Each structure stands twice: as structure tokens, then as C-alpha cells.
Structure 1
Amino acid sequence: MKKLCFTLLALSMPFLSIAGEAKITWKDFNDYHDVHPANEAKRSYHKRVTKHFEKHISKLAEQLPEGYKLNVTFDDIDLAGDSRMGMQEIRVIKRIYFPKLTISYALQDKSGVTVSSAEKLVLKDMSFMDRINKELDKSFIYEKQLLSDWFADQVLIKTNA
């Protein structure tokens, strides 16, 4: 059975098209509203944020048609929760500390024509704690959900128009 599945996958490969691609631009992390590490060195935390957000947006861009390019700039980031200093710095997640991302983006089709764009678009979810989330053990789940919702509502829909 495994051999059959492998063969079918291999046969279908030539018909798969290359998905769209994404380019992410970052501003100075020190200028963002709240990207404060809880119990981690600032530099490594910022690298971790970068890695997680870039990986997530790249995964979303795979849904775009072949040749499409998505350029995203993070103008401001306010992560869910709030950093608190005590004996140890921690990030406290409460309803009043909802995630908020400010982005600028441009979606280009395969001929380079801008299909959709926005400057300083504010993405926020004031009811982020009301959602059922199976991935509570993963990093930046609330911010990734914001990006996924934006992508589905404002980017992906433009490729089907």
C-alpha cells in the first residue's frame, strides 16, 4: 500500500504548480510597540519572532497562484499579552492585552501588476481569547491567527476575483 501511495504522489508531482512567494520586511524591533521578551534575551527573542512570522507568511503564500508575489512590511507589532517585571519577567495574557499588528502589503500577479495593497493596515482581535485553539503550546498563535484571517479575507480572495 505504501508503494502505491508513493507512486501516485510521484506521478502527480509534474502537474503541481509552484506556489506564490512572500517577502517580509522588518523595521527596527526597538521601535515596535510591544515585542518585549518575557524570559529570554531580547536579540534571540526578536529572531524567534522573525522566524515564526516569516515561516507562517511563507506557508500562507503557498496558497497563492503560481507567480504571485506578496510583499509584507511589519510597521508595528503589539503582541498578545503584556510583559511584567517581577522576580522574573513574564508575559501575562489577558483580554485587555489583545494582539495588534500594523502591516503594509502589496500583492502582485505573475505579470507584476499590483492586485491588492494597503498601507498601515491595522489587524487586531479584541476577542482573541474567545476562540477555541488547539495549538496553545505553540508560539505566537494569536498573531498567526490574525495573519491567517487577514490573508483569507483580503489577500487570497483577490486571487480568485
Structure 2
Amino acid sequence: MTASKWVRGLRAGLMVLSLGAVAAAAHAQAEVKFIKPENFSDIGDNARDRETAMNQLAEHIKTVAARELPGKQLAIEVTDVDLAGELEPRGVTAQRLRVLRTVTIPRMEFSYTLSENGQVLKSGKASIKDMNYQLSSANRYFESEPLRYEKKMLDDWFAKDLLGKQGIERASR
């Protein structure tokens, strides 16, 4: 390989790396903390279930923030979670199963700060719930999706409170 080809290859590689850095900087950074999850209303039956649910909620928030809030930073401190349904004993082994009813709505409480370049754009406390979680036909998540009702509820909150989109069916508030 000649020196000029090597230099051109190096330049092309550096350009790809710099474009990737610019694209990464354009994505939102989201930080999600769960404050005293052992005191949450309902986030699972055991430590493993709680950890799985917290990871799924945090990843969902980070994914939505990256997609919807490019260039901004979002910090969320979750203070309570009440998953849709309730865990009830079922069968001869009394294995617990999550049973969904219209009265066992998903709810979350958290504080948040949305900023850009170190300047706070919006902050506050949110107490969200979806009283029509089973009736809404607008849930874009498949029935097999874990925490589909909670994810839709968070999507609605993002759209209304952070993005200011009008016309969002707002059962959560």
C-alpha cells in the first residue's frame, strides 16, 4: 500500500469516527434512578422481578429520550411504581400470576429535569397513571411486550409533557 492510499484511508476512517461522534452527541442522554424501590407500591414479586422491571423501564425511557429529545439531557428519579394488574396466587402451588383488571391501573411517580447544554429547560414532579389502560386500542406494543401498559403510559407523558404534542389521549395525569 502506498503512503498516499494509507493517508486517504486514515482520513476516511477519521471522518467516519467524527460523524459518529456528531451523531452520538445529537442523541439525548437519559439517566434513570430508582429511589428506594423496596418501598414501591408494586414492581414485582421478588428482587429478580423488581430488577428486571426497573431495567426495562429505564431502557425504555433512554430509548424514547434518544429518539425524541436529540441533543438534550433527561434525568429522572423514580419514587414509586405500581405495575398494571396485581400479583395473585394461582393453582395448587400458589404460584403468583399478574392478573389485569380495570381497577388495577399502572401508575408511576417521579421527578425529572430536562436540560440542554447545561441549561434547565423543564423540571418538575410527575404522577402519571392510565385509568383506561385496558380499553385503549392505541397501544402500539404487542401483547407479548413486557410492561406494555407502562411503556405506553410513559410514551404519552413524553409526548404531552416534554414534547408538547397536542391531541394525545391523556388518561394519565
Instruction: Check whether TM > 0.5.
Output: yes
* Displacement of 1:45: 0.7
Q: Deviations over 1:66-105 (max 9, x none)?
A: 2x11000111111100111242111110100010101110
The TM-score with structure 1 as length reference comes to: 0.80
Q: Deviations over 1:91-150 (max 9, x none)?
A: 11010001010111000112x11111112x110010011122451101001111111111
- The match for 2:42 among 19, 27, 34 is 34
Which residue matches 1:80?
Answer: 84
Moved over 3 A (4+): 13-17
Which residue matches 2:32?
Answer: 24
Larger Rg computed on CA atoms: 2
- The match for 2:113 among 82, 103, 106 is 106
* Displacement of 1:29: 1.9
* Displacement of 1:65: 2.5
Measure the CA separation in 2 of the matches of 1:65 and 1:47: 28
The residue matched to 1:48 in structure 2 has which SS?
helix
Q: Does 1:128 align with 2:136?
A: no
Which residue matches 2:10?
Answer: none
Measure the CA separation in 2 of the matches of 1:94 and 1:88: 19
Residue identity (%): 26
Measure the CA separation in 1 of the matches of 2:148 and 2:85: 12
Q: Deviations over 1:43-72 (max 9, x none)?
A: 211111121111101111112132x11000
Which residue matches 1:70?
Answer: 74
Measure the CA separation in 2 of the matches of 1:100 and 1:54: 15
Which residue matches 1:152?
Answer: 159
Which residue matches 2:122?
Answer: 116
Measure the CA separation in 1 of the matches of 2:32 and 2:81: 14
- The match for 1:93 among 89, 100, 104 is 100
Q: Does 1:142 align with 2:146?
A: no
Measure the CA separation in 1 of the matches of 2:114 and 2:158: 11
Measure the CA separation in 2 of the matches of 1:36 and 1:60: 23
Aligned residues: 141
Which residue matches 1:56?
Answer: 60
Measure the CA separation in 2 of the matches of 1:135 and 1:24: 24
Amino acid at match of 1:24: V
Which residue matches 2:9?
Answer: none
Aligned CA RMSD, in angstroms, stands at 2.1
The TM-score with structure 2 as length reference comes to: 0.74
* Displacement of 1:36: 2.8
The residue matched to 2:26 in structure 1 has which SS?
coil
Q: Structure 2: which 5+ residue stretches go unaligned?
A: 1-15, 166-173
- Determine which structure has greater relative contact order: mean sequence separation of CA pairs < 8 Å that are 6+ residues apart, divided by chain length: 1
